[in-house]
Chain A
Amino acid sequence: MSTTERFIPDRLQSPLQKKIKSWESLLLAVAIAIFIANSFASPYFLNAWNLSDATFNFTEKAMIAFAMALLIIAGEIDLSVASIIALASTAMGAAAQFDVSTLTLVLIGLGVGLACGAFNAILVCGMGLPSIVVTIGTMSLFRGISYIVLGDQAYRGYPSDFAFFGQGYVFWVISFEFVLFALIAVLYGILLHKTNFGRAVYAIGNNATGALFSGIRVNRVKSILFLLTGLMSGVAAVCLTSRLGSTRPSIGLGMELEVVTMVVLGGVNILGGSGSIPGVVIAAFVMGLVTFGLGLLNVPGIVMSIFIGALLIGVIALPRLWEMWRK
């Protein structure tokens, strides 16, 4: 055996160099550009209260998007998140009719979210069914229950202090939702990027068989991710219900697609294996800024969704087009 000393360096590029060339940097540039364009387009844009209002465009979606990002990186998906909001909100609304405390309401919302996540986890991890089909199924199922309970009615009559979660401000223009969003972003950033659990998530997404053969408890990790996604949907349900002050069965309808869009825009590979939480944070701001800017210009909601769609395809196609152009 050769005994020549051969030194293999840890890295060829410094982590900083890598960051500069990353997707997140590109996205940040896009976010700044949109910010500047908006401030020229509308005189009302650079107003602290307006900007603070704008954050409500993304805070609830982003809370779910962080959990969804981990799930998609691990090669799974949960399309039932918006329906979990509906079911959790319906449960809270029903409980509110019995004058329960605000704390109880919150626990019910989170509990229903967790239970829905557990249901998805059992079907996907326990029975080995494909998550895209399972969660399309539970998407109909969960919201269907809300429709049966509520019909064309709505639950109102939430206790007055329940309004704090969606309408309260912690300091000046900083809303409770925004603080919660920032806190959750940091927690998920640490979970994905700094822990063994996060490493396992990447390993599973890149090669689930290889991860299993490396002693990773693949099903356990995936189950936890479904539970987390359910829990975050419950958190979003609390915030959204509190902000609206009422529950209809159509609450949060179609939100799952905006959540997935946010995750993918943030640079998470829809096929699993790569992506980052900072990317999703920036993507949340990009989507929030775009919808807010267009709103100030009185662009109707339908056109906004066209805009978001075009933005998603454009930003994703950009690197590919760049490569083709260089050839």
Chain B
Amino acid sequence: MQATTATEAPVLRLDRISKIFPGVKALSEVDLALYPGQVTALVGENGAGKSTLVKILTGIYQPDGGEITVDGTPVSFPTAQDAAAHGITAIHQETVLFDDLTVAENIFLGHALKGRFGLIDTARQRRMAAEILHSIGAEIDPDTRLRELGIASKHLVAISRALSIDARVVIMDEPTAALSHKEIHELYELVEKLKAQGKAILFISHKFDEIFRIADRYTVFRDGQFVAEGRISEITEGELVHMMVGRSVDQVFPKRTPSIGKEVLQVTGYDHPTEFEGINFTLRRGEILGFYGLVGAGRSEFMQSLFGITKPSKGVTKIDGEITVIRSPAEAVEAGIVYVPEDRGLQGAIRPMPIFQNVTLPSLSRTSRNGFIKLAEEFALAREYTERLDLRAASLDTPVGNLSGGNQQKVVIAKWLATQPKVIILDEPTKGIDIGSKAAVHDFMAELASQGLAVIMVSSEIPEVLGMSDRVIVMREGRIAAELSGDEMTPETLVRHAAGIAEA
């Protein structure tokens, strides 16, 4: 292992790299340098070109201009294998692993250890997998099927997989997005270990606390352009945000004077055989009710059951005081309950379809006559709600998949508002979206509540929960651990109830 000093030459350098897609310049002459034993944070709003850059580094896209050098020698990565051969590996936002293979098979997939006759040497693979897992402090049996692991363990497998090719450059694309507090902590320790081994790490994150916690250097992109780079120690959070958005964004949550009206939703005795138990709560007009908890606490599962996706074994929903049976999302929408899911790509939007068709999908009965589509009314409805959300798109018939994450989320929210619901459930509404869109979503939530809509917000981000909610329900292991309001709503109480730690 080499000793790491700050003056060392970069392992990997990108020089004036450009990437053009039809009609869009995704990257315009950007620079990036990664140094051995250092963590470089790549910072930028969604749409800044971070994902494109990762794809270029891993051989998925080819740059249209510029030069990549490894140890000072120009290289190119025509395929993903070429990038791996140069020791570059990425741990993706949504980890690409295979549920039905074992941990060891996942780790060595694509570069299996061969024994005699070119067959896979499973014994050696298992041993090596155990070694790598052990080296990062993950005590996982290499023979376990991946399906049986939790999301955090899966992540550790993904990291082991990255390390199994003897990587020199490790790219981590929002590695903490799906992790709980404790798991994030363990990830930080792992990053420290990788640093000590002299690996260069590219760390992509939207969370400023973690950037300042673990990064040594930063590089800022904005709208596909290089903005700045430097040492983290020489910059403040405010300066970094300013460079990122090109304007100063105060991360203050919208101030509201909640005008809470009469009860609109009453949930009693919701049980599910495995996911949740004994859920009771009420919700009033104009109220924002936060649901906090660790990943796996059963919040999303409960919300989806309220929305008619998963069937609870028992439970009663009353809307405006009347018992309402909801057996499908269609019935939920009719009853005035809508759900903005966490998994935007799969559950939220229909990405290949145009924006306007996504927005009007649950409201088609209102933009049609006797089942026949009225295009002009569809466009009008879509325009009304997307403009309210300040959507940025080339046209309303652009496929939703072409938009950035934040704008996709706006389409999903617009879709539900167009149904004029009574209760809107937002599941991790700002996960993985940029600061600008985040603020827009927060403002919008406040506006909706002030117009008398009842809002349920599931969030794992404490500042968001505390900043937005009038009341917070903390869930732990499928049960309601606490219901907090007013002065009880502090970061400490939230974490304590979520983790099940007794009163200090």
Contacts and interface: CB of A to CB of B under 8 A. Distances in A.
Interface of A: 1-2, 6, 8-12, 194-200, 202-203, 206-207, 209-217, 273-274
A73 B352 CA distance: 13
Given A1-B390, A2-B390, A196-B373, A213 B396 contact: no
B352 A206 contact: yes
Interface string B475-491: 00000000000000000
Contact of A195 (B348, B353, B371, B444): B371
Contacts of B333: 215
A66 B111 CA distance: 47
A250 to B, nearest CB: 40
B356 interface: yes
B112 interface: no
A215 B350 contact: no
Interface of B: 307, 309, 328-330, 332-334, 339, 341, 346-353, 356-358, 361-362, 364-365, 368, 371-373, 379, 383, 386-387, 390-398, 415, 419, 439-440, 443-444
Contact of B373 (A9, A199, A274): A199
A198 B375 CA distance: 13
A211 to B, nearest CB: 7
B480 to A, nearest CB: 25
Nearest to B352: A206
B329 A213 contact: yes
B353 A10 contact: no
Contacts, number: 108
B194 to A, nearest CB: 36
Contacts of A2: 390
A274 B351 CA distance: 13
A214 to B, nearest CB: 5
Contact of A212 (B309, B356, B419): B309
Contact of A206 (B350, B362, B393): B350
Contacts of B349: 207, 210
Contact of A203 (B346, B361, B372): B361
8 contacts: A10-B383, A196-B371, A199-B357, A199-B373, A207-B352, A210-B347, A213-B339, A215-B419
B362 A215 contact: yes
B350 A8 contact: no
B136 to A, nearest CB: 33
Nearest to A4: B390
Contacts of B397: 10-12
A12 B329 contact: no
A216 B387 contact: no
Nearest to B415: A214
A260 B339 CA distance: 38
B116 to A, nearest CB: 39
A273 B348 contact: no
Nearest to A219: B328
A202 B361 CA distance: 11
Looking at B346, B350, B362, the one whose CB has the most chain A CB atoms below 10 A away is B350
B361 A216 contact: yes
Contact of B391 (A8, A10, A212, A274): A8
A273 B350 CA distance: 10
A220 to B, nearest CB: 9
A8 B393 contact: yes
Given A199-B373, A215-B329, A210 B390 contact: no
A191 to B, nearest CB: 9
A213 B330 contact: no
B372 A194 contact: yes
B364 A199 contact: yes
A10 to B, nearest CB: 5
A196 B390 contact: no
Contacts of B368: 195-196
Contact of A196 (B330, B334, B365): B365
A28 to B, nearest CB: 23
A196 B353 contact: no
Given A214-B358, A215-B333, 7 more contacts: A8-B396, A196-B364, A203-B353, A215-B329, A215-B330, A273-B352, A274-B352
B336 to A, nearest CB: 12
Contact of A216 (B330, B339, B443): B330
B351 A207 contact: yes
Nearest to B383: A8
Nearest to A196: B364
A73 B283 CA distance: 41
Given A9-B396, A11-B395, A212 B329 contact: yes
A187 to B, nearest CB: 13
B396 A209 contact: no
Given A210-B346, A213-B309, A6 B330 contact: no
Contacts of A215: 329-330, 332-334, 361-362, 419
Nearest to B356: A10
A6 B393 CA distance: 10
Contacts of A10: 356, 379, 383, 395-397
Contacts of A1: 390, 439-440, 443-444
A199 to B, nearest CB: 6
Nearest to A198: B373
Give the interface centre of A200, A207, A274 by most chain B CB atoms within 10 Å.
Answer: A207
A196 to B, nearest CB: 4
